Structure 1
Amino acid sequence: MGNPSKAPAAAWRHPVWSTARKSCVGTALGSGKIWFTTGRGIVTEVFYPRIDIPQIRDLGFIVADDQGFWQELKALPEPRLEMEDPLVPLPIIHHHHDRFDFTLKICADPERDVLLLDFHLEGDAALRPYLLCSARLGEDAENNCAWVGDWEGRPVLWAEQGPFGLALTCRNADGYPALERCTVGEVGASDLWQDFHQNGRMQWAYQEAGPGEVALAGRLPRQGTLALGLGTSKEAAATNAWSSLAEGFQSRAADYSAGWNAWHQRHPTHHCVSKLPAAAKALYARSTNILKVHEDRTFPGAMVASLSVPWGESSDSRGGYHLVWSRDLVESAGALLALGAATEARHVLTYLISTQQADGHWLQNQWLGGKPFWQGVQLDETGFPVLLASALREAQMLENVAVTDMITRALHFIVHEGPVTGQDRWEEDGGVNLFTLAVAIAALVEGAGFLGGKAGDCALMLADYWNARLEEWTFAHDTDLARRFQVAGHYVRIIPEDILVQDGAQKEWVLIKNRAHDPHLSAGEQVANDFLQLVRYGLRSADDPHVTASVKVMDGLLRTDTPCGPVWHRYNGDGYGEHADGSPFDGTGIGRGWPLLVGERGHYALAAGEDAVPYINAMAAMTGNSGLLPEQIWESDAIPEKGLFPGHPSGSAMPLVWAHGEFIKLCHSAAQGRPVDRPAQTWKRYQGKVPKIDYRIWRLRQRPRQLPAGQELRLLLRAPFTVHWGSNGWQAIQDTESEDWGLGHVATLPVQKLRVGDSVQFTILWRDSGDWQGEDFHIDIVGGGA
């Protein structure tokens, strides 16, 4: 008959996460290593001992009597959330039902790996609260085991998996142990929710469960404090839990608040928000907290993109957004710099230095310790750490951080892989993308100042070349979109690599990636807002005709007006978002508006001499009920039963740290009258103007087939080489040796005297190996307008 104390196992498992729409995220600024999130009025994922390892799915409550009435709190309408101090992420959650009110206060112990939950049930005296916790130790939903136990005469709920242990215990208002009628089970089969669903009251009392996705439950007093302890064993977790309970919630909350207030005193609210509306001021304060909360303490400087899993209640992703992207990390570090949080920004840089790959690039994303998650290569993620090093030096905050080796390797990678990226910043298509290219050009310019010599010359030569040729590569003329919006042309979202190999001779190409609609949208008909980075970084002026025409197309195609203000989409045909009926993204969907892009559009408005405050106000209005910025908002007709309302958060990640960083930067930029993250040396070099160059660069990956008369031809390759070359059908043959320019090897062919109609022929001998390239190459001399 088996073990009657063992909970029945689930016959079928599809573990998912909690809601991505968080109402609060928090951590104590002490030695404790606990991060918590809340959503739908309960505790959702709790992370320990690092910010990338969730240990539970959620911890919620049922309120019930013994007559068959029961109510799960997270199924009630959105509760009221308040913070006694807006600078301290110490949430108080108020649930209301006709028969009761339930108040929940949440605090992480600053000194221990314990989360404390102070609760109070008021109303019908026949009602009692019950806790139910879904353990997910080590982010593992398959191998957790759980027990009802006793710790030194105190009832405790235990779970273990691998190196992690969990303990749940409770004390009442008088300080006595108060966990009653405990049970454990497997989610979906023998957990407390199933017990109430099937029996209308708590009847099961299983003593052990698992291995599997286990749930822990027990009856609580009407008022008390619950402790969730985490540790290297269940016993260690229980010891810390009771130590924390012995001090009491109020004591721990006071120390928690003191830690946060001390941090804010070191980084006082900037004067840039003094004239902003109240909602924007409140969001600024919350945004500073969001940045600090998302920083790890085992790996200082590591910040995850969000303490959430997009559309978590339908997702079984092991990574979610609790991973490190170097792009998000540096974008957030720019906001830290604006706040004056120099120590945190330097920690970001040293963390990035430690996780740089041998060839100079950074992983698409990674666990905090440096282990890869996804495997793509995004060129902007190699440029951003260089920009951070330069920004720190410009602000005289770099101190003694050794950056030369990092910058050398990063620029070497950019030189030989760019201007093509394996993926754009949205982690989809590869090719030449203007956001990515703006970052790469700026990294070359900023990095050149660290390297100097021939390496610096090489970086500047390539930066100028790419900058001068942006429009040749990425500006589409006389497209259907251009005619529709009555402009000469527009920047396109991305140009595939083989167009670049042909030196831009072809401007139409089929892109297939995550399309919600026409899967055969050509490159020339796809528009994004990525080109705005050219203005933000000083590569083009706000009134450049190419830019203004593209803004007209972008605003006409990608802007949606909502009750909260205008919002922009990533690009036309985007498929990353809910379906039309509001069902979650499942690999396909319809791209929604991004508050982050409102901030980017606001930065362009500022550069164009317009007021940025309307964009600040729009971002502030697009937050959730608790004031957090989401990844995306809903911009279609309301679907109340799914919590989707125009202008307000969708089911995507919330908070998105990058969006909060963008908001902070927009506030500072508006006060200073320029983008605060504009790379200083890049602006000094270009000031929005196209550089004048008298050369073309030939590489194996980008092969110009035409050379304007009067220009030099420069070959840039990885290794030492000799160019065996002649003109007009291999006449006047000669050899030119390459020189080591630090980041590559360069040979300059003096062909300026050749006339229109002449031609150059050449092949390459690799000096290290003595091997010929095995190809002959041909370039025609053409008029200067080519």
Structure 2
Amino acid sequence: MNAPGWPGLSPTWASSAKDIVGTALGAGRVWYTIGYGILNEVFWPSCSLPQIRDLGFIVAGDGFWSEVKRENCYEISTLEPDIPLVRITHRHARYMLELECLADPSRDVVLIRYRLHGEDLKLYTLLAPHLEGSGYGNNAQVLPHGLAAMKGSSALMLAASHGFARGSAGYVGVSDGWQDFHQHGAMYWDYSVAPNGNVALMGELASGEGELALAFANTAEGAQTLALSSLASGWEIIRERFIDGWQRWTGELDPPGATDAQRDAVRRAAMVLKAHVDRAFPGALVASLSVPWGDTRDDPGGYHLVWSRDAVEAGLALLASGHAQAARNMLAYLIATQHPDGHWAQNFYCDGRPYWTGVQLDEAALPVLLAAKLADSGCLDGLQPQATSMVRRALQFVARTGPFSPQDRWEENAGINPFSVGVSIAALVAGVTGGFLEGSDCDYALSLADDWNARIEAWVYVRGTALDHQHGVHGHYVRIAPPGQTAQRSHVALRNRGTEELPARDLLGLEYLYLVRLGLRQANDPRMADTTKLIDALLRFDTPQGPYYRRYNEDGYGEHEDGRAFDGTGVGRAWPLLSGERGHYAVLAGEDPQPYLDAMLASASQGGMIPEQVWDSEPIEARHLFPGRPTGSAMPLVWAHAELIKLVATITSGEPVERLPAVAARYRTSSTPAQAHWREQAPCEVVDRGMPLLIEGERPFQLRVGIDGWQKPVDLDSEPLGFGLHGVRIDAKQLGALHALDFTRHFADGRGWEGHDWRIWLKPILKHRQATA
């Protein structure tokens, strides 16, 4: 009989608050998540594609019923920190429910062993299919061997070792199993089919203990075969193979000089990184097996996508934890997914299909650092030719696009920011010192890197602002400077805050700390110390567990003041990831980094999952929001776990994982670049009169240049530079300029004159020498 209530309520996902995530290391292609003590999203056949919302339990007897998820009284543990064999114990005055969860290494199956303790009670399963990544259009059916769902070319089957006494298929919010208990206090409905909607399945288990198998295939028959064969193989044998697979991968992971607590944290974090790697596409690593605020929305993308930035952060952490082959796999995957122009999509599915369409400079530069780090570690053998080709394309994109980035690392604003420009500078130098570039590209890359490095402060450092005076500092780095502008005289739109803007000089972030990690600036630089004093005063949130930091002041990505979920607007909360970034600086500045590491560890769930954000206001118990504890944002966040591994490595070695010796050596002392580079997206306002100036363009052009108000104009033809760019070198002294250069360009591709006059003011040589003495 068909269930009533088609098509059901609008679908949502499970809460993003995960206790733990896991997968088997073998041929099986399922990834599972646990939250509130039950199975949440299960991903198949890729870790980009969730197939269920959750699989939970109801315990019931005469006049009594209890949904274990809502009781929220349970304990969770794993066999070892780096083996995601999950043991869960739900406790209630009337019962105790013991669960153990793992994946079959040989089949696309998740297995759950269950044991119910209590008198005159029965156990019921609640399953919410979201096949092919959506709660819409699912078909649910009760079959002789279990509970099934189908949609398109995907199917699932939930089978039990002792079978189901009965089952029912329904529509969520109307005729599903939870509504049955809510309305009747018992299971009354036995609908056999619920087609084409947001569906749910309920089954009464024939025994209070046994095993469940949740299988996935392209047909219901295939899913049934996998489920039943997994059950037939035997729990203990599959369990042993699951443990063996993880033990062989983790090996003897033992960070030199680490404490026992640090060692366990690194082992668990490495497991989390590995659990986010795809099976069909080795090296593809998604940002999180969760959907931020998933229990309030139907987000088809979630965080289960690949970001090259997050992937490289994880790749560097894997390399630091002794998993060089995993980092090599990631580099090979990034080589395969690079766009012809050298950049990577903002994010993409594991098979390489783009999802969002933004472009971020750091996502093009970071893979170069991974290649260079592998080369420095002697781990690039066999990948050198392909890596060289990738690096050349990536650096061509960086050189032609930068220092401007269409989006910053938070995917919100266009402009120049310390993080993106910093990794771009390091990548340009690494391309040369790592032997990836040749010919004119080498000379140009170093010249461009030197120029950008010398101009960082001109773009994103301000002095004498109201904030500086208020906190007794001379100046500070800002989060971002808008395109073609400096931070001193510009405004930045605040994402997720409607039409609000803030002066760029008042917008603080932790992006500047990467300049020290990369070796572009020294930790004892007064500008670093001053900015750190400001972010400690304005972005820091202290808890008994330790300090956390907000991304920037007036951030809008997070829960509302009353704890309502982020819905496109909100209030940015504190990020444990940023505690790690502050901890790195603490190591390099001679401070105690332990409080920052402790804060990261204290933010984690029972199973050790570190969230994207923690609550940074008064507790709201009804919404499970407590200071220093996870919010509804992504959990676990792969980037945060990578940051933890790297922070422990930096604490024990004193050297950041991202730092390349050749880059740090080049910028250990401030040096004047050989020439200044002018380009439209980052124009020079002032240059030294004695410094050669390179006017650049993406295609051949003729430059008309005059001095001091268009006197003595001359026409000069551009010449090829590195990376396919073109330019004209000018010596202001030879032209006789005293105060300014005026110029415009005529392009040979039919565009003609660009219709804009540019001016560069000249700084007297004497003042320059005094300033740098």
TM-score, normalising length: structure 1: 0.94
What is the DSSP-based 3-state SS (H/G/I as helix, E as strand, rest coil) of the residue aligned with 2:649? helix
Q: Deviations over 1:520-546 (max 9, x none)?
A: 321111111110011111111011121
Paired with 1:147 and 1:638, the residues of 2 have a C-alpha distance of: 43
**Closer, same or farther: CA 86–770 of 1 in aligned 2, 3 Å:** closer
Alignment of 1:585-664 (within 5 A): 585-664=566-645
**Which of 116, 138, 142 is the equivalent residue of 1:148?**
142
What is the DSSP-based 3-state SS (H/G/I as helix, E as strand, rest coil) of the residue aligned with 2:694? strand
Paired with 1:486 and 1:302, the residues of 2 have a C-alpha distance of: 47
Residue 231 of structure 2 corresponds to which residue in structure 1?
245
Alignment of 1:691-730 (within 5 A): 691-728=671-708, 729-730=710-711
What is the DSSP-based 3-state SS (H/G/I as helix, E as strand, rest coil) of the residue aligned with 1:400? coil
Paired with 1:650 and 1:703, the residues of 2 have a C-alpha distance of: 42
Q: Is the 8 A contact 1:720 1:740 kept in 2?
A: no
Q: Is the 8 A contact 2:7 2:198 kept in 1?
A: no
Q: Is the 8 A contact 1:412 1:744 kept in 2?
A: no
Residue 159 of structure 2 corresponds to which residue in structure 1?
169
**Closer, same or farther: CA 732–294 of 1 in aligned 2, 3 Å:** closer
**Which of 14, 27, 47 is the equivalent residue of 1:51?**
47
Q: Which amino acid in the other structure matches residue 443 of structure 1?
A: A
Residue 771 of structure 2 corresponds to which residue in structure 1?
none
Residue 24 of structure 1 corresponds to which residue in structure 2?
20
Alignment of 1:351-430 (within 5 A): 351-401=333-383, 402-430=386-414
**Closer, same or farther: CA 55–737 of 1 in aligned 2, 3 Å:** closer
Residue 72 of structure 1 corresponds to which residue in structure 2?
67
Residue 150 of structure 2 corresponds to which residue in structure 1?
160
Calculate the aligned-residue CA RMSD, in Å: 1.9
Paired with 1:356 and 1:106, the residues of 2 have a C-alpha distance of: 37
Q: Does 1:685 align with 2:666?
A: yes
Residue 433 of structure 1 corresponds to which residue in structure 2?
417
Residue 131 of structure 1 corresponds to which residue in structure 2?
125
Paired with 1:544 and 1:353, the residues of 2 have a C-alpha distance of: 37
Q: Is the 8 A contact 2:59 2:67 kept in 1?
A: yes
Residue 189 of structure 1 corresponds to which residue in structure 2?
174
Q: Is the 8 A contact 1:736 1:749 kept in 2?
A: no
Answer with 287-296 or 728-737: which moved more: 728-737
Residue 212 of structure 1 corresponds to which residue in structure 2?
197
What is the DSSP-based 3-state SS (H/G/I as helix, E as strand, rest coil) of the residue aligned with 1:441? helix
Paired with 1:197 and 1:490, the residues of 2 have a C-alpha distance of: 58
Paired with 2:339 and 2:56, the residues of 1 have a C-alpha distance of: 42
Q: Which amino acid in the other structure matches residue 110 of structure 2?
A: L
Paired with 1:415 and 1:538, the residues of 2 have a C-alpha distance of: 20
Paired with 1:622 and 1:565, the residues of 2 have a C-alpha distance of: 9
Residue 228 of structure 1 corresponds to which residue in structure 2?
214
Paired with 1:417 and 1:301, the residues of 2 have a C-alpha distance of: 27
Q: Which amino acid in the other structure matches residue 436 of structure 1?
A: S
Which ranges of structure 1 fall in alignment gaps of 5 or more residues? 173-177
Q: Deviations over 1:231-266 (max 9, x none)?
A: 11110010011111011211111110011111112x
**Which of 95, 101, 105 is the equivalent residue of 1:106?**
101
Q: Deviations over 1:531-573 (max 9, x none)?
A: 0011111111011121111111111111111011011111111
Q: Which amino acid in the other structure matches residue 120 of structure 1?
A: R
User: Could you tell me how far 1:421 is from its partner in structure 2?
Assistant: 1.1
Answer with 68-77 or 741-750: which moved more: 741-750
Q: Does 1:330 align with 2:312?
A: yes
Paired with 2:730 and 2:48, the residues of 1 have a C-alpha distance of: 53
Paired with 2:179 and 2:592, the residues of 1 have a C-alpha distance of: 55
Q: Which amino acid in the other structure matches residue 204 of structure 1?
A: W
**Closer, same or farther: CA 746–733 of 1 in aligned 2, 3 Å:** closer
Paired with 2:758 and 2:500, the residues of 1 have a C-alpha distance of: 36
User: Could you tell me how far 1:10 is from its partner in structure 2?
Assistant: 3.7
User: Could you tell me how far 1:765 is from its partner in structure 2?
Assistant: 3.8
Which ranges of structure 2 fall in alignment gaps of 5 or more residues? 769-773
Q: Deviations over 1:484-504 (max 9, x none)?
A: 10111111111111315xxx7
**Closer, same or farther: CA 363–272 of 1 in aligned 2, 3 Å:** farther
User: Could you tell me how far 1:607 is from its partner in structure 2?
Assistant: 0.9
Q: Is the 8 A contact 1:478 1:489 kept in 2?
A: yes
Residue 175 of structure 1 corresponds to which residue in structure 2?
none
Residue 459 of structure 2 corresponds to which residue in structure 1?
473
Q: Is the 8 A contact 1:474 1:494 kept in 2?
A: yes
Aligned residues: percent identity? Answer: 44
Q: Which amino acid in the other structure matches residue 140 of structure 1?
A: S
User: Could you tell me how far 1:625 is from its partner in structure 2?
Assistant: 2.1
Answer with 11-20 or 331-340: which moved more: 11-20
Paired with 2:687 and 2:717, the residues of 1 have a C-alpha distance of: 18
Q: Is the 8 A contact 1:387 1:446 kept in 2?
A: yes
Answer with 140-149 or 127-136: which moved more: 140-149
Q: Which amino acid in the other structure matches residue 473 of structure 1?
A: W
Paired with 2:265 and 2:37, the residues of 1 have a C-alpha distance of: 20
**Which of 314, 322, 343 is the equivalent residue of 1:340?**
322
Q: Is the 8 A contact 1:712 1:752 kept in 2?
A: no
Paired with 1:346 and 1:23, the residues of 2 have a C-alpha distance of: 29
Q: Does 1:62 align with 2:44?
A: no
**Closer, same or farther: CA 649–761 of 1 in aligned 2, 3 Å:** closer
**Closer, same or farther: CA 521–759 of 1 in aligned 2, 3 Å:** closer
User: Could you tell me how far 1:162 is from its partner in structure 2?
Assistant: 0.9
What is the DSSP-based 3-state SS (H/G/I as helix, E as strand, rest coil) of the residue aligned with 1:494? coil
**Closer, same or farther: CA 373–734 of 1 in aligned 2, 3 Å:** closer
User: Could you tell me how far 1:654 is from its partner in structure 2?
Assistant: 1.1
Answer with 677-686 or 734-743: which moved more: 734-743
Q: Which amino acid in the other structure matches residue 699 of structure 1?
A: R
Paired with 1:140 and 1:446, the residues of 2 have a C-alpha distance of: 43
Paired with 1:727 and 1:480, the residues of 2 have a C-alpha distance of: 37
Paired with 1:538 and 1:743, the residues of 2 have a C-alpha distance of: 29
Q: Deviations over 1:692-722 (max 9, x none)?
A: 1253222233333443221211112212333
User: Could you tell me how far 1:725 is from its partner in structure 2?
Assistant: 3.4
Q: Does 1:523 align with 2:504?
A: yes
Q: Is the 8 A contact 2:523 2:589 kept in 1?
A: yes
Paired with 2:254 and 2:337, the residues of 1 have a C-alpha distance of: 32
Paired with 2:140 and 2:74, the residues of 1 have a C-alpha distance of: 31
**Closer, same or farther: CA 655–361 of 1 in aligned 2, 3 Å:** same
Residue 311 of structure 1 corresponds to which residue in structure 2?
293
Answer with 334-343 or 712-721: which moved more: 712-721
Q: Is the 8 A contact 2:707 2:736 kept in 1?
A: no
**Closer, same or farther: CA 507–14 of 1 in aligned 2, 3 Å:** same
Q: Which amino acid in the other structure matches residue 559 of structure 1?
A: R
Paired with 2:304 and 2:232, the residues of 1 have a C-alpha distance of: 32
Equivalent pairs counted in the alignment come to 761
What is the DSSP-based 3-state SS (H/G/I as helix, E as strand, rest coil) of the residue aligned with 1:271? coil
Paired with 2:639 and 2:420, the residues of 1 have a C-alpha distance of: 16
**Which of 489, 498, 508 is the equivalent residue of 1:507?**
489
What is the DSSP-based 3-state SS (H/G/I as helix, E as strand, rest coil) of the residue aligned with 1:196? helix
Q: Which amino acid in the other structure matches residue 67 of structure 2?
A: E
TM-score, normalising length: structure 2: 0.95
User: Could you tell me how far 1:510 is from its partner in structure 2?
Assistant: 4.4
Q: Is the 8 A contact 1:365 1:374 kept in 2?
A: yes
Q: Is the 8 A contact 1:757 1:780 kept in 2?
A: no
Q: Is the 8 A contact 1:709 1:753 kept in 2?
A: no
